[in-house]
Amino acid sequence: MNLFVHDLSLYIHVPFCFDKCDYCDFFSIPHHGRPDNRLLDREFHLIESMGSRWLRLLQCRNLETIYIGGGTPSSIGLDRLERLLSIIAGLIKKEGIAFEGEYTIEANPRDISPDLITLLESYKVNRLSLGLQSLNDQDLRAIGRSGSRAQSLNALSVLSSRWKGRFSLDIIAGIPGQKSESIDEIVETAVESGADHLSIYQLTIEEGTPLARKIAQGLRRAPQDEDYLRLFKHAVETAEKAGFKRYEVSAFARKGCESRHNLRYWYLRPYLGLGSGAVSTLPLADGGALRFCTGKGRYMKEILSPKQRFTEALMTGFRLVAGVAESMISGTGIPDHPFRLIGKTITDYQNRGLLFMRNGRMGLTHQGLDLLDRFLLDCLVELDTTWPENRS
């Protein structure tokens, strides 16, 4: 197996949160303010041992980005978080890795404090992703999310006055009963607090979650697609008027403040995932990729063929407002001029004004992005008939 890694991003998964939200289907363990030190010890050992092994195997000398997600990393307490940050710093130092890039950590409003900011800055964390979701207590109750408007406003006040780095706000649109004024207030508050990035997501109902069960029992209203589309369109207009430019289906940023880590993910750059719920994807010399997870006591891996890799390139690249250049998804194992393989779909969407081609890039218009799932399905159907049979 020939790995082909010239640059690398690092993702650390911390599978613990204060309380699991009703809509969440991610792998996470709620601790209700009392994290289990034995589980944390096990998790930190996994991160340290697998990190050392893989960074050495890949001969990594430079990290482009680091992202600590979860769960909610900020919820485990300052002492435990400092231990995790120290482990990451130790791995970088031990392997002689250069890193001066974007360093992000996810946090919830309840955890934001001057002491947390001091700790993060001491380890050169320079970007926060804050799980705000809504500033309306009724919206938060509707989705079973702990926390409150007061906690969020306090967190934003602390960040505005103390935090020297960049920060992003996560927002959910399409909550039953949510009003456009709720979106307006979040964007206005983001501007006032100095946030430079917004991620606006649709409320989705995942099977097996508490929210799905409550909806089935008639205890909660189901979100309606038309409500989401109306609110999201309003959010796009409001965010762009406030100076946030849409650069991905759900992401908006001030100029130069796009999430570099997420951009690398969408452009299929290699990343190493450490922790129970983390997945790694590393390119292979034949144009495919190695994907693996080392969590939960077992090692799972998948070898992606060039066709699967190309399919993923379509699924991530067309999320971006700027689109994707054909040269960025060409390579060993992938046919020359690969966009020809989805030529009928491209022509159809271009004729309908849903797809653009300019400066060597191809992408979906704002109207086309609303039909992203349909477009990708059409691409995959066509690809099944056009991919050369002698290539896997």
User: Tens digits of per-residue pLDDT, 45-93?
Assistant: 999 999 999 999 888 889 999 999 988 999 999 999 999 999 999 999 9
Q: Any idea where the domains of the chain sit in the sequence?
A: 8-263, 314-392
Q: What is the pLDDT of residue 222?
A: 86
Residue 331 Ramachandran class (φ > 0 left, ψ -120 to 50 alpha, else beta): left
In three-state form (DSSP H/G/I as H, E/B as E, the rest C), the secondary structure along the chain is: CCECCCCEEEEEEECEECCCCCCCCCCCEECCCCCCHHHHHHHHHHHHHHHHHHHHHCCCCEEEEEEEEECCHHHHCHHHHHHHHHHHHHHHHHCCCECCCEEEEEECHHHCCHHHHHHHHHCCCCEEEEEEECCCHHHHHHCCCCCCHHHHHHHHHHHHHHCCCEEEEEEEECCCCCCHHHHHHHHHHHHHHCCCEEEEEECCCCCCCHHHHHHHCCCCCCCCHHHHHHHHHHHHHHHHHCCCEEEECCEEECCCCCCHHHHHHHCCCCEEEECCCCCEEEEECCCCEEEEECCCCCCEEEEECHHHHHHHHHHHHCCECCCEEHHHHCCCCCCCCHHHHHHHHHHHHHHCCCEEEECCEEEECHHHHCCHHHHHHHHHHHHHHHCCCCCC
pLDDT bracket for residue 2 (50, 70, 90): low
Count of C-beta atoms within a 10 Å radius of residue 57: 12
Q: Is the pLDDT of residue 392 over 70?
A: no
Q: What is the pLDDT of residue 379?
A: 96
User: Tens digits of per-residue pLDDT, 5-60?
Assistant: 778 999 999 999 888 888 887 777 888 788 889 999 999 999 999 999 999 988 88
Q: Is the pLDDT of residue 163 over 70?
A: yes
Q: What is the pLDDT of residue 299?
A: 59
For 235, the token pair is 């959010």
- Range 8-263 classified under CATH 3.40.50.970: no
User: Tens digits of per-residue pLDDT, 104-143?
Assistant: 999 999 999 999 999 999 999 999 999 999 999 999 998 9
Q: Is the pLDDT of residue 4 over 80?
A: no
Q: What is the pLDDT of residue 125?
A: 99
d(CA 4, CA 10): 16
Q: What is the pLDDT of residue 255?
A: 95
User: Tens digits of per-residue pLDDT, 212-255?
Assistant: 898 989 888 888 888 888 999 999 999 999 999 999 999 999 99
Q: What is the pLDDT of residue 306?
A: 84
Average pLDDT over residues 343-350: 97
User: Tens digits of per-residue pLDDT, 168-219?
Assistant: 999 999 898 899 999 999 999 999 999 999 999 988 888 888 888 989 898 8
Q: What is the pLDDT of residue 315?
A: 94
Average pLDDT over residues 93-100: 92
Q: Is the pLDDT of residue 360 over 90?
A: no
Q: What is the pLDDT of residue 77?
A: 95
Q: What is the pLDDT of residue 331?
A: 65
